Amino acid sequence: MDIVSAFEILVKSMLFASAPLILTALGGVFSERSGVVNIGLEGLMVIGAFAAVVFNLTFASTFGAATPWVALLAAMGIGGLFSLIHAVASITFRANQVVSGVAINFLAVGLGVFLVKAWYGAGQTAKIPVPMYYTQIPILSDIPVIGPMFFNNYLTSYLAIIVAIIAWFVLFKTPFGLRLRSVGEHPLAADTMGINVFKMRYIAVFISGVLGGLGGGVYAQTISQDFSGGTITGQGFIALAAVIFGKWHPLGAMGAALFFGLAQSLAIIGGSFPLLSDVPNWALLSAPYILTILALAGFIGRADAPKAIGTPYIKGKR
């Protein structure tokens, strides 16, 4: 394989491997910026993947070619609803948010596989009839070298980048975003200024469910194309790593997710690159995690969490 075609495969697989990570990480940014830890991203992806696959299998004849896109809407809806369990536990019931997130992860896999077995009689669904396909972007994909490299991919890869820009705008350029961030930094002050802390946190967790569900739906319809207990194995935690590595910033999270997507692609096809063939596979697979630890430790720029993260807000308590 010559270096240009190897590079092309690398960029392509980076773009499609990172799309679900970007979307889910953005969900994590919303939740954590409002002060609610979301270890449950993994579970939200699982439930999104489950919803998308079941929808695709059931309604393929009704919606035809549009099925994957409608299935994504279903995944977003179910993901949003599912995240409300985490919201109720961690905001209203003042549960330990990490524990509640762990419960979400258990519940998503348990419920998903349970229902698949109850409905389809097997631990794994059939392949979805209408998966997503590569789309050539008109005009742009005709540019030599760069065109086929960047502009012939799943539309969801571009969607993820667009959503990241929208998320940045919403969080940093709108009053809503300012309020959301303020309840994550200093809920008491925000409350004093008339912001409804509980409402903002519920909305933020709901958004994280919608985006996590979307991420899972994208993963299921582009990469795995079916659903089982082993469909989502750690992608949600890589997304969580991207949230932190990206310093709780939407564009940072996007950059981190792209980078982690690249690391994953390298682990698969790194052997074709002369320099990387000496790096053991486990190091490339572990790269996102090792880098996140280094970032947290302050070796790669300090990563500071929102101040009020992890603490339930109790009205009237100082």
Partner 1 sequence: MSNRVLTILIPIISVLLGLIVGAIVMSVSGFNPIEGYGALIKGAVGDSFYLGETIRQITPYIFAGLAVAFAFRTGLFNIGVEGQLLVGWTASVWVGLAFDLPKIIHLPMAVLAGALAGALWAFIPGILKARLRVHEVIVTIMMNYIALHFVNYLIRYVISDEQNTTERVPESASLKSPLLETLTDYSTLHYGIFLALAGAIVFWVILEKTTSGFELRSVGLNQHASEYAGMNVNRNIVLSMVISGAFAGLAGAMEGLGTFGYGFIHDSFSGVGFDGIAVALLGGNIAIGVVLAAALFGILKQGALIMPLESGVPTELVEIVIAIIIFFVASSYIIAYLLRRFKKGAN
268 makes contact with partner 1 (CB under 8 A): no
Rounded CA-CA distance 226/219 in Å is 10
DSSP label at 153? E
CA angle 38, 21, 263 (to 5 degrees): 120
* Positions 51 through 110 that interact with partner 1 (CB under 8 A): 85, 89, 92-96, 98-100, 102-107, 109-110
| Nearer to partner 1 (CB atom), residue 115 or residue 146 | 115
Rounded CA-CA distance 171/126 in Å is 39
282 makes contact with partner 1 (CB under 8 A): yes
3-state secondary structure of 135: strand
Q: Which stretch binds partner 1 (CB under 8 A): 74-82, 145-153, 198-206, 275-283?
A: 275-283
Least distance CB 292 / partner 1 (angstroms): 5
How many other CB atoms are there within 10 angstroms of residue 237's CB atom? 19
Contacts of 168 (CB under 8 A, 6+ apart): 249, 250, 251
Rounded CA-CA distance 261/135 in Å is 20
Rounded CA-CA distance 297/230 in Å is 31
Contact code string over 219-248 relative to partner 1, x by CB under 8 A: ----------xx--xx--x--xx--x----
Least distance CB 291 / partner 1 (angstroms): 9
Least distance CB 241 / partner 1 (angstroms): 6
292 makes contact with partner 1 (CB under 8 A): yes
Residues that bind partner 1 (CB under 8 A): 37, 39, 85, 89, 92-96, 98-100, 102-107, 109-111, 113-115, 117-118, 229-230, 233-234, 237, 240-241, 244, 280-282, 285-286, 289-290, 292-293, 296-298, 305
